[in-house]
Every structure is written in C-alpha cells, then in structure tokens.
Chains A and B, each alone.
Chain A
Amino acid sequence: MEWGGILEGALQQGLGPAAIVYCLAAIGLNVHFGYTGLLNFGQAGFMAVAGYALASIVATWGLSFWLGLVVGLALSVVLALLLGVPTLRLRADYLAIVTIAAAEIIRQTVGSVSLLEYFGGQDGLQQFVDTFAGLNPFTTPMGLGPVSWRPYDFFLLCVGWTVVALCCLIVYLLMRSPWGRVLKGIREDEDAVRSLGKNVYAYKMQSLIIGGLFGALAGFMTALQHAAINPSFFATDTTFFAYTVLLLGGAARVLGPVVGAITFWFLINVLDLFFDQATVGPNPLISASIMTHQQASLMRLIFLGLALMLLMIFRPQGIFGDRRELAIDGR
C-alpha cells in the first residue's frame, strides 16, 4: 500500500478541474437552495445546455469559441425563464419536479439519434477546445508542492479557480445587500415577504437565473475538462453530487461550495485509489474472495452514501454552517 501515492493522487484530483465543476455547480445551487430555498434538482440541465451550446457552436457550426460562451450563457437564462415562468408562482415542490424532468429531457434530446448531426448522439462532440488551448502559456507540467498537472490541465485549473473566486465575490456582494436579504426572507417565508410589498416572483426568477448562470459556467468547465462532451456527463447524479458538495461545505455560506468541492472530490479519490490498490496485483490486501478489482470501483459510492448519512446525523450544518441556525424551528 502506497499511502503517499494515494494522497498525492487524491490531492491532484481535489484541486483539479473536476472539483471546479462541482464547485461552480454548487455555487449555483447555493444561490437557489441555500439562499432562496428554491429546490432545483436539474442543475445538470443548466450545465448540459451551456456545455452543448459551446461544443456545438464550435464543432458543428464552426463558429467562434467566444460566441459559444455567450450563446451558452444566454440559453441558460432562457432555460431558467422556461422553468420559472410556470412554476415559481406555485409551491416549492413543483419547481423540483419540473427541473429534474427538464434536465433529463435535455440530456435525452442532445443524445438522441435524430439530432446526431448536430450533437453527436451518445458519442457527443470533440474538437472544440483549440481556441482555449491556444491561450495556454504553459508548455511543461506544472505543480504545487508534491502534485503536478499536465500543461492544459494546469491552465484550465488556473482559469477555473479564478472564475470560482469571481463567482464567490459576486455571491458575497449580492448576499450582503438588501437584495440578498429579500432572497433569504423568501427562503424563510415567502408570504411574509409578499406582505411587506416585495415582488416575490421577480426575486425568485432572478435567483433562478443567477444560479443557472453559475450552472452554465460549470457546464463550460465540464466540456473543457474533457475536451469533449457527451450526455453521460450530465446525468442526474451530477446534480446530486453538487448537492452533496453544498451540504458538506454548508449551505448559505459563500465559501461553503469551495471547501465542500475540494473535500468531497479529495475523499472520493482517496477511497477510489485505496480500493484500487488494495485489490490489484498478485497478492492483494483485500483478497479476491472478498472483493474483486471490478467490485472495488463501486466501493466509493457505498462509502459516499454512508458519509452523507453520518454528515446529516452529526453535522447537518456542514463544515461552515452555524448549528444555532438549524436549532431554530422553521416557522
């Protein structure tokens, strides 16, 4: 067992592009769920719309990468409007049902055979990161301490964490303002806020759009990270991983998603690498009669579930949360 290698590998992942994807997705969910109380179970849908817009504009239509970014953001605003207009006047659960369904519809649509020529079906699209890769100033593997990344990954990582920092700044500025106070009020009781003369519907719509835009950034990041895109990146579990990240870090905390994403992805990879090493080779630590190498790759999900349960029982407020807040009864 090579613990040094496991920790290095996990740290490389924990700070790497995948963690940034979950971080951005969770920042969006933080605006939705943490601050406004909107149950958006379709964050993967926002990611898919933006990611596919970028990829198809470049790979299918041969247009500019930058146009792809603009179209991706614009389409995620459109998606927020489509989801919000019919549901935001209704009870909170309607949005949850509609978003989870919409995310699946989007994923099935972009993966469908009839749209193969535009979105590449189940194989997805490649060859759309050239413009971005062309900006990469790094030519040799770069590292921090014991871990290092390929030049492209390191560039992506620099850009990604810068974007995360900007997003956190925006969330911080918004949530300390009177605007943010209205959102938090809506989370607590929207009728009370309405009785004070605030247009609750408009605020919920603004929140849905802003959180969706953060989701769109996560979608771009997904596409850039793999330098390819396909429907399986945007399955429902992506949304639930992002929720896990949010709850782990602490909802309604500006830096909750950042700490949550790094911790989550680091721990997932520790488990992954540990079980990988423990079941490989001629004389494995865990004998094949208990667990085969293939079965070991599923262990991380079992432990993830266990960890989530323990988290909810012993530290429901997350890493940054305030226990006092949870001790207060809802109404």
Chain B
Amino acid sequence: MVADRIETRDVDPPLRDDQSEAARASLSGVPHEPGAPKPDPIVVADNIVRKFGGLTAVDVEHLEIQRNVITALIGPNGAGKTTFFNLLTGFDKPDEGRWSFEGHNLNGMSAYRVARLGMVRTFQLTKVLSRLSVMENMRLGATGQSGENLWQAMFAPFWRSQEKANSSRAVALLERFSLEPKKDDFAGSLSGGQRKLLEMARALMVEPALVMLDEPMAGVNPALKQSLLGHVKSLREDGMTVLFVEHDMDMVRDISDWVIVMAQGRIIAEGPPEAVMSDPKVIDAYLGAHHDAELDLDESQSGDRNG
C-alpha cells in the first residue's frame, strides 16, 4: 500500500523550526495546573458549559492553548473531549461561556466561519466525501474560490486559473501524504488509514493556523501510525498549531508538547506528558495503576471511543 510507506520529508525552513523550538521552550515556565496561562495563547476559553439535559458534559473554567506547539487533549471515555471540540469549532453551541481564536471572539459563530478564520478540524469518524475523487476532496478544501459563487460558476474563465493553482497545491499535499497515486480514485475506495491522511491533507488545503484532530490514530494500522505521527509533527514545523484528542498513550507521549486532561467535563490536569502521566489525579481518573505498561492491542482498541 502506497500510503503505508514511511516517508521522510526534508523540513528545512530553519526560521520556522526556531519558532516552534522557541514556542516549546516558552512552555517550560508554565505552571502544571488546570487553566494555566500560556505565554502566547492562540485559543482562550472561559467558563464553557454544555449540558445535555441533567448531564453536564463540559464545564471548563479557563483554558489557553499555546501557539505553535502540539497539545494533546486526553481523558477517559465520556470525559467531554469531543463535545469540547465541537463547541470550540462551532459544531455545537455551549449553554454559557466565551472563547476566542487569535483574538477573534467566536461566541455564536457558525462552524464554517470558524473554519475560514483558520481553525480547522477533522472528525473522529472520518468524513471523506466517498463519491468524490481524492483530488476533488482536496480541491474542495481550498478557500476563497470564485468558482464557488453561483453567478461565476457557470463561466469557467472566471475560475479556471484559480482551479489550476489549487490543483497543483493539492497534488503537492497529496505527494507529501503519499496519496498522489490515488488521486483519481473515489475517496470511498481508500482504506481507513488513508482516509485519515486524506482528511488531514484536505484540512491543510484550508491553510489553517490551528489544526484540530479528533482521534487521528483511531482505526489506523501500526505501520501507517508511524507516518501519521511524522505528519502531525511536520505540521508544527510548518508553523501550525495542533490540538488533538487521542486515546493512544504512545502517541501522546511521543509527539505532544503539552497535555490537557479532562474528566467528567472538567480539566483536571495540565502539563508536559511525563508530568501529567505521573500526576496522581490523572492516574486515578484515567490511567489506572498500571499506566506505565504499554497498552496491549485488545485494550487499546476495545470500548467506545467517544470522548
């Protein structure tokens, strides 16, 4: 399988590397406590509450997400991680609270406008557009297309050159994600892991500043996992901020610069991976006494993954 090849990519814009180095370094002074203020936050959320009937699914007092680093959002099933994701991206409305992205207030903003600001998400259950080709999936991601305006759509000269530019950008991204040979296939014919890759590549077509990945490793075979990890890291090197929800502890340990732990709708701990995983509150809430042991396959794949 083509996309399963683990590919190494030259990342050589040193300036950006420096930036993300610096961003990571600046986290060292941040206290390891829930709601800790960050030196350069890209997302700031206050008092976000979402109730489903009598159940309070999310109750986040204060949260800041540092720019240009990889932040993991973990927690046991039902902790409210995916709900929190939906709230931040406008796919669900909180009962109260306010939050902002790069200084833009996002209260009550619809999902598509949030995405246009540069805060793009993927989904826990991959949403590729099955009966569109891989290439069409990619082109759909480009923003500001004049051909998406009804009045200009009928006349190709209005959008042909833009379409060409988008197509070459799409091909470049597909090559990076090793999906280029599949570009004319229906997206529905891809394997689960390839769909994850396509979804990530398509999100990059939007040219986001913050990429939010909801369980990028769920249902991905181990060979592809390594290359996916590399891709997530490369987003950081390219100057993007990454926030992801994940159950795979190896991945969290391996690539995240900062970890936020949710349980029962609240943030119970924050800090670098090692610190968080030895925090007794986290062990109690989530990891159990044997959290140091590698999760075996049955355990990591069983159960409801809904966060």
A residues whose Cβ falls under 8 Å from a Cβ of B:
170, 173-174, 176-182, 184-185, 187-189, 191-200, 206, 324-325, 328-331
Q: Are A177 and B202 in contact (CB under 8 A)?
A: no
Complex CA–CA separation, A315 to B148 (angstroms): 33
CB nearest to A325 among chain B residues: B131
Minimum CB–CB distance for A315 against chain B, Å: 18
**CB contact under 8 A between A324 and B153, given known A177-B147, A178-B163:** no
Complex CA–CA separation, A74 to B255 (angstroms): 58
Question: Across the interface, which residues of A come within 8 angstroms of B159, CB to CB?
Answer: 177-178
Complex CA–CA separation, A311 to B143 (angstroms): 40
116-150 of chain B: CB within 8 A of chain A: 116, 120-123, 125, 127-132, 136, 139-141, 143, 145, 147-150
Question: Across the interface, which residues of B come within 8 angstroms of A195, CB to CB?
Answer: 89, 91, 111, 115, 120-123, 127, 203
Does B41 count as interface, using CB distance less than 8 angstroms?
Answer: no
CB nearest to A252 among chain B residues: B131
Question: Across the interface, which residues of B come within 8 angstroms of A192, CB to CB?
Answer: 123, 127-129
Main secondary structure of the interface of A (DSSP, over half): helix
Question: Across the interface, which residues of B come within 8 angstroms of A182, CB to CB?
Answer: 140, 148
Question: Across the interface, which residues of B come within 8 angstroms of A185, CB to CB?
Answer: 129, 132, 140
Minimum CB–CB distance for A320 against chain B, Å: 15
Complex CA–CA separation, A325 to B185 (angstroms): 11
User: How many residues does chain B have at the interface if contact means C-beta atoms less than 8 Å apart?
Assistant: 42
Does B186 count as interface, using CB distance less than 8 angstroms?
Answer: yes
Does B189 count as interface, using CB distance less than 8 angstroms?
Answer: yes
Question: B121, B127, B163, B189 — which one has the most chain A CB atoms within 10 A of its CB?
Answer: B127
Q: Are B141 and A328 in contact (CB under 8 A)?
A: no
Q: Are A328 and B130 in contact (CB under 8 A)?
A: yes
B residues whose Cβ falls under 8 Å from a Cβ of A:
89, 91, 110-113, 115-116, 120-123, 125, 127-132, 136, 139-141, 143, 145, 147-150, 153-156, 159, 163, 186, 188-189, 202-203, 205-206
22 contacts between A and B (CB under 8 A): A177-B148, A178-B159, A179-B150, A181-B132, A184-B132, A185-B129, A188-B129, A192-B123, A194-B91, A194-B111, A194-B112, A195-B121, A196-B120, A196-B202, A196-B206, A197-B113, A197-B115, A197-B120, A197-B143, A199-B110, A200-B112, A328-B130
CB nearest to A190 among chain B residues: B127
CB nearest to A179 among chain B residues: B153
Q: Are B188 and A329 in contact (CB under 8 A)?
A: yes
Complex CA–CA separation, A94 to B216 (angstroms): 33
Q: Are B148 and A178 in contact (CB under 8 A)?
A: yes
| Given A196-B120, A197-B143, 12 additional A-B pairs, CB 8 A | A174-B150, A181-B136, A185-B132, A185-B140, A187-B131, A194-B91, A195-B120, A195-B123, A196-B141, A197-B115, A328-B186, A331-B125
Q: Which of A181, A191, A200 lies in contact with B127, CB distance below 8 A? A: A191
Question: Across the interface, which residues of A come within 8 angstroms of B186, CB to CB?
Answer: 324-325, 328
Q: Which of B140, B145, B149 lies in contact with A193, CB distance below 8 A? A: B140
Question: A196, A206, A324, A328 — which one has the most chain B CB atoms within 10 A of its CB?
Answer: A196
Question: Across the interface, which residues of A come within 8 angstroms of B110, CB to CB?
Answer: 199
**CB contact under 8 A between A173 and B131, given known A182-B148, A200-B112:** no
Question: Across the interface, which residues of A come within 8 angstroms of B120, CB to CB?
Answer: 195-197
Complex CA–CA separation, A196 to B91 (angstroms): 12
Q: Which of B122, B130, B147 lies in contact with A179, CB distance below 8 A? A: B147
Complex CA–CA separation, A65 to B136 (angstroms): 44
Q: Which of B129, B147, B148, B203 lies in contact with A184, CB distance below 8 A? A: B129
**CB contact under 8 A between A179 and B149, given known A170-B154, A328-B189, A329-B130:** yes
Question: Across the interface, which residues of A come within 8 angstroms of B143, CB to CB?
Answer: 196-197
